């Protein structure tokens, strides 16, 4: 317990900055590894003086070993422990557990080996071995994480040390199962910008030139009365009355009626999202629903509305048995139905499980490619991407589309948001991407709580599924194929995924807006975007070239899709080295050289102009002009 480093604020400050990044780093790696992988993202030294640190300084945090704790973080226990590192040998050290994280630091050698794991990442804790088993490290603890790694520890037999640590981890990793609060509600972090203001529904619709003569904003769901998993503000066809909406809601699974997601400013085609119609075994029809879809079609004079059912045909048919189904030809004569063959959440979960098997802890070597193929992970990515391409293509050719799956919160969110990313360059900016996530995923009720299982001990819950991860992977594939089209970099995607699990921020908590509202998430927790936007320089892609009118069509072929090694295999120190991007490094160097030259030139010209002031030309406009000319010699 003698962990308070007296050396003071300075050290503390630096540590806390490091801590912000710690999730991206590999923690158990060798000393060289700790610095090497981060190189491509090295921020300028200026980055250190960003606001979060300043605010933390005032809070006077207690350091935890050599990292600073977050404001609101509290120490629970620390213990001598042996970390059984899968890449090196067993490492002796000390584990510190707080209400937010598990931190491990070795004590047996100078080469630091550390682990910094937010407890939210833990999906399962198990005791391994014990009195009956043999061997040195027989009192084991196995921690399964949601972020593609497992941690193994061994404890001493004496003093029930394993029991203590197990119980504490179990309690603090799964607070909701123990009547406690998630860390996001305990955190006292302060940031200059309030990330909760990144997305304002009305503002976003106005950006899309909505409402207009074809589309209106409705507040019918103000109190979540129409649909408890939808947001309060919805955009619907101008001609559809609120009464119409209520009747349509009766025919759509969980009342998730078709509402507007995106509006094409030039051709006025739209992307609508909803859940499946309640056709059932008897093949029920609903005149209001049929008329409603026709109103959507009419809005921009689309001759045939295209309905994309994300599911495989057979699954859609099978859904009739439970009351669901799809839009039949006879009922919806002005619509064509296309099945996109994307599988359900269970298939995706199993696929990721297989993927983990071949990459952690050791990468399957001898038959890497066929093992990778057998996980089907990339094939699912291909299907999701090619579905989104079809949606985007249809819309850009001027036809409106309706997208749904069963409930319209998993595959539907994937498809609409990816199509929007292809169609609208705004969503490819750092801020636009945050808006996209807030809108299509968070406000429209992707069930983050169920899919991720925040703070819940039930690791085998059938509702868990890596749908959002799959979406982020698709985004990554797009950024790989279009390295200049996105303002943000890979690091942002990794940070988003890390905090999807960490429970440090309120952004991804709960299943829908209504639940978030009743738990006052906005008031009681910090938004992930507060954190991200406090130092945007870390997440900027230097190659970004804004190009507004461009639709991006990725190539959804296995020839181009690759495994996102720097995410899925990032814990492996051997692989991680590849992360360095010499291109990016070189580009940044050149940018610096250019700026240096420009500055020099400006100085020279300024001194020229002061020489010339006597003659006549009075102000500094001349050098500026000259410089702009130089900047764009093409």
Q: Which positions are annotated as active-site residues?
A: 405
Cα 410 from Cα 554, distance rounded (Å)? 21
Q: Could you say which residues in the range 592-611 bind other proteins, by CB under 8 A?
A: 592-594, 596-598, 600-601, 604
Chain centre to alpha carbon of residue 197: 18
Question: Toward other proteins, which CB reaches closer, 211 or 623?
Answer: 623
Closest approach of Cβ 35 to other proteins, in Å? Answer: 9
Collapsing DSSP states into helix, strand and coil, what is residue 145?
strand
The stretch near other proteins (CB under 8 A) out of 31-39, 64-72, 175-183, 288-296 is: 31-39
Q: Could you say which residues in the range 472-491 bind other proteins, by CB under 8 A?
A: 481-485
Q: Using DSSP bridges, classify how beta strands 122-128 and 90-98 pair: parallel, antiparallel or unpaired.
A: unpaired
Decide: 187 and 120 in contact? Cβ < 8 Å: no
Does the annotation flag 463 for ligand binding? Answer: no
Q: Could you say which residues in the range 331-370 bind other proteins, by CB under 8 A?
A: 341, 343-347, 350, 363-370
Does the annotation flag 503 for ligand binding? Answer: no
Torsion region of 60: left, alpha or beta (phi above 0 gives left; psi -120 to 50 gives alpha): left
Question: Toward other proteins, which CB reaches closer, 238 or 368?
Answer: 368
Question: Toward other proteins, which CB reaches closer, 393 or 517?
Answer: 393
Torsion region of 227: left, alpha or beta (phi above 0 gives left; psi -120 to 50 gives alpha): beta
The tally of CA atoms less than 13 A away on the side-chain side of residue 443 is 24
The stretch near other proteins (CB under 8 A) out of 58-66, 164-172, 290-298, 543-551 is: 543-551
Cα 318 from Cα 281, distance rounded (Å)? 9
- Interaction between residue 324 and other proteins (CB under 8 A): yes
Q: Could you say which residues in the range 374-403 bind other proteins, by CB under 8 A?
A: 376, 378-380, 382-383, 386, 389-390, 392-393
Kindly report whether the peptide bond that precedes residue 211 is cis, defined as omega within 30 degrees of 0.
Answer: yes
The DSSP letter of residue 428 is G
Burial of 476 (0-12, 13-18, 19+ CB in 10 A): buried
Collapsing DSSP states into helix, strand and coil, what is residue 605?
helix
Q: Could you say which residues in the range 115-154 bind other proteins, by CB under 8 A?
A: none
What number of chain residues touch other proteins (CB under 8 A)? 99
Does the annotation flag 557 for ligand binding? Answer: no
Closest approach of Cβ 188 to other proteins, in Å? Answer: 36
Decide: 252 and 274 in contact? Cβ < 8 Å: yes
Burial of 337 (0-12, 13-18, 19+ CB in 10 A): middle
- Residue 58, Cβ neighbours under 10 Å: how many? 9
Does the annotation flag 400 for ligand binding? Answer: no
Question: Toward other proteins, which CB reaches closer, 612 or 630?
Answer: 630
Cα 40 from Cα 347, distance rounded (Å)? 35
- Interaction between residue 590 and other proteins (CB under 8 A): yes
Whose CA is closest to 82, among 34, 126, 137? Answer: 137
Does the annotation flag 411 for ligand binding? Answer: yes
Decide: 229 and 409 in contact? Cβ < 8 Å: yes
Closest approach of Cβ 478 to other proteins, in Å? Answer: 9
Helix (H) or strand (E) holding 63: strand 63-64
Q: Could you say which residues in the range 74-113 bind other proteins, by CB under 8 A?
A: none
Does the annotation flag 16 for ligand binding? Answer: no
Whose CA is closest to 113, among 96, 143, 90? Answer: 90
Does the annotation flag 20 for ligand binding? Answer: no
Question: Toward other proteins, which CB reaches closer, 79 or 343?
Answer: 343
How far is the CA of 592 from the CAs of 43, 236, 539, 580, 589, in angstroms? 13, 49, 18, 19, 5
Closest approach of Cβ 433 to other proteins, in Å? Answer: 18
Does the annotation flag 408 for ligand binding? Answer: yes
Cα 416 from Cα 403, distance rounded (Å)? 7
Whose CA is closest to 267, among 398, 420, 424? Answer: 398
Q: Could you say which residues in the range 550-569 bind other proteins, by CB under 8 A?
A: 550-560, 562-563, 565, 569
Cα 378 from Cα 556, distance rounded (Å)? 10
Give the x/- contact pattern for other proteins in 568-587, rule: CB under 8 A: -x----xx-xx-x-xx--xx
- Interaction between residue 288 and other proteins (CB under 8 A): no
Closest approach of Cβ 191 to other proteins, in Å? Answer: 32
- Three-state secondary structure readout of 533-578: HCCHHHHECCCCCCCCCCCCCCCCCCCCCCCCHHHHCCCCHHHHHH
Tokens of 605: 């010209």
Closest approach of Cβ 150 to other proteins, in Å? Answer: 19
- Interaction between residue 54 and other proteins (CB under 8 A): no
Decide: 551 and 423 in contact? Cβ < 8 Å: yes
Decide: 564 and 476 in contact? Cβ < 8 Å: yes
Tokens of 112: 């630091």
Closest approach of Cβ 329 to other proteins, in Å? Answer: 19
- Interaction between residue 494 and other proteins (CB under 8 A): no
Question: Toward other proteins, which CB reaches closer, 105 or 446?
Answer: 446
Q: Could you say which residues in the range 409-428 bind other proteins, by CB under 8 A?
A: 410
Q: Could you say which residues in the range 188-227 bind other proteins, by CB under 8 A?
A: none
Closest approach of Cβ 231 to other proteins, in Å? Answer: 20
Closest approach of Cβ 176 to other proteins, in Å? Answer: 18
Q: Could you say which residues in the range 231-260 bind other proteins, by CB under 8 A?
A: 250, 253-255
Does the annotation flag 453 for ligand binding? Answer: no
Question: Toward other proteins, which CB reaches closer, 212 or 622?
Answer: 622
Residues within the annotated binding site for substrate? Answer: 344-345, 405-411
Residues within the annotated binding site? Answer: 344-345, 405-411
């Amino acid at each position: 317990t003698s962990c308070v480093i007296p050396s003071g604020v300075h050290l503390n400050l630096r540590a806390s900055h490091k801590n912000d990044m710690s999730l991206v780093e590999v923690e158990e790696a060798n000393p060289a590894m700790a610095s090497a992988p981060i190189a491509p993202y090295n921020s300028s030294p200026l980055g250190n003086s960003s606001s979060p640190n300043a605010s933390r300084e005032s809070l006077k945090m207690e350091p935890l070993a050599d990292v600073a704790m977050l404001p609101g973080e509290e120490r629970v226990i620390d213990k001598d422990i042996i970390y059984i590192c899968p890449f090196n040998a067993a490492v002796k050290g000390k584990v510190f557990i707080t209400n937010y994280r598990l931190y491990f630091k070795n004590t047996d050698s100078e080469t630091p080996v550390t682990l910094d794991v937010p407890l939210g990442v833990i999906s399962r804790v198990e005791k391994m071995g014990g009195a009956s088993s043999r061997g040195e490290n027989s009192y084991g603890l196995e921690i399964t994480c949601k972020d593609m790694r497992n941690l193994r520890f061994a404890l001493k037999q004496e003093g029930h040390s394993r029991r203590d640590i197990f119980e504490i981890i179990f309690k603090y990793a799964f607070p909701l199962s123990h009547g406690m609060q998630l860390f996001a509600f305990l955190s006292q972090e302060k940031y200059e910008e309030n990330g909760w203001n990144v997305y304002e529904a009305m503002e976003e619709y106005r950006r899309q030139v909505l409402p207009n003569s074809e589309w209106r904003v409705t507040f019918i769901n103000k109190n979540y009365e129409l649909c408890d998993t939808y947001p309060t503000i919805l955009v619907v066809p101008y001609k559809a009355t609120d009464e119409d909406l209520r009747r349509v809601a009766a025919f759509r699974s969980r009342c998730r009626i078709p509402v507007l997601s995106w509006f094409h400013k030039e051709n006025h085609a739209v992307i609508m999202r909803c859940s499946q119609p309640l056709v059932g075994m008897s093949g029920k029809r609903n005149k209001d629903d049929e008329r409603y879809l026709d109103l959507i079609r009419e809005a921009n004079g689309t001759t045939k509305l295209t309905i994309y059912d994300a599911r495989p045909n057979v699954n859609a048919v099978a859904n009739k048995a439970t009351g669901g189904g799809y839009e039949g030809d006879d009922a919806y004569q002005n619509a064509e139905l296309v099945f996109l063959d994307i599988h359900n959440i269970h298939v995706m979960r199993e696929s990721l499980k297989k993927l983990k098997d071949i990459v952690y802890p050791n990468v399957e070597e001898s038959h890497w490619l066929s093992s990778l193929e057998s996980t089907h992970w990339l094939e699912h990515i291909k299907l999701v991407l090619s579905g989104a391409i079809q949606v985007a293509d249809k819309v850009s050719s001027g036809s409106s589309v309706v997208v749904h799956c069963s409930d319209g919160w998993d595959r539907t969110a994937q498809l609409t948001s990816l199509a929007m990313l292809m169609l609208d360059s705004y969503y490819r900016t750092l801020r636009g991407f945050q808006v996209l996530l807030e809108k299509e995923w968070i406000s429209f009720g992707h069930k983050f709580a169920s899919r991720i299982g925040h703070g819940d001990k039930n690791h085998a819950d059938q509702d868990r599924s890596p749908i959002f991860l799959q979406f982020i992977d698709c985004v990554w594939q797009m950024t790989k194929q279009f390295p200049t089209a996105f303002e943000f970099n890979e690091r942002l995607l990794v940070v988003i995924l890390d905090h999807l699990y960490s429970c440090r921020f309120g952004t991804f908590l709960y299943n829908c807006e209504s639940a978030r509202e009743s738990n006052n998430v906005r008031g009681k927790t910090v938004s992930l975007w507060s954190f991200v936007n406090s130092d945007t320089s870390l997440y900027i892609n230097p190659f970004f070239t804004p190009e507004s009118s461009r639709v991006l069509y990725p190539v959804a072929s296995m020839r181009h899709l690759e495994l996102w090694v720097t995410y899925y295999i990032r814990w492996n120190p051997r692989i991680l080295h590849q992360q360095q991007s010499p291109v990016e490094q070189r580009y940044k160097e050149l940018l610096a050289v250019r700026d240096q030259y420009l500055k020099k030139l400006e100085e020279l010209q300024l001194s020229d102009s002061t020489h010339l002031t006597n003659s006549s030309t009075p102000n500094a406009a001349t050098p500026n002009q000259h410089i702009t000319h130089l900047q764009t010699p093409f």
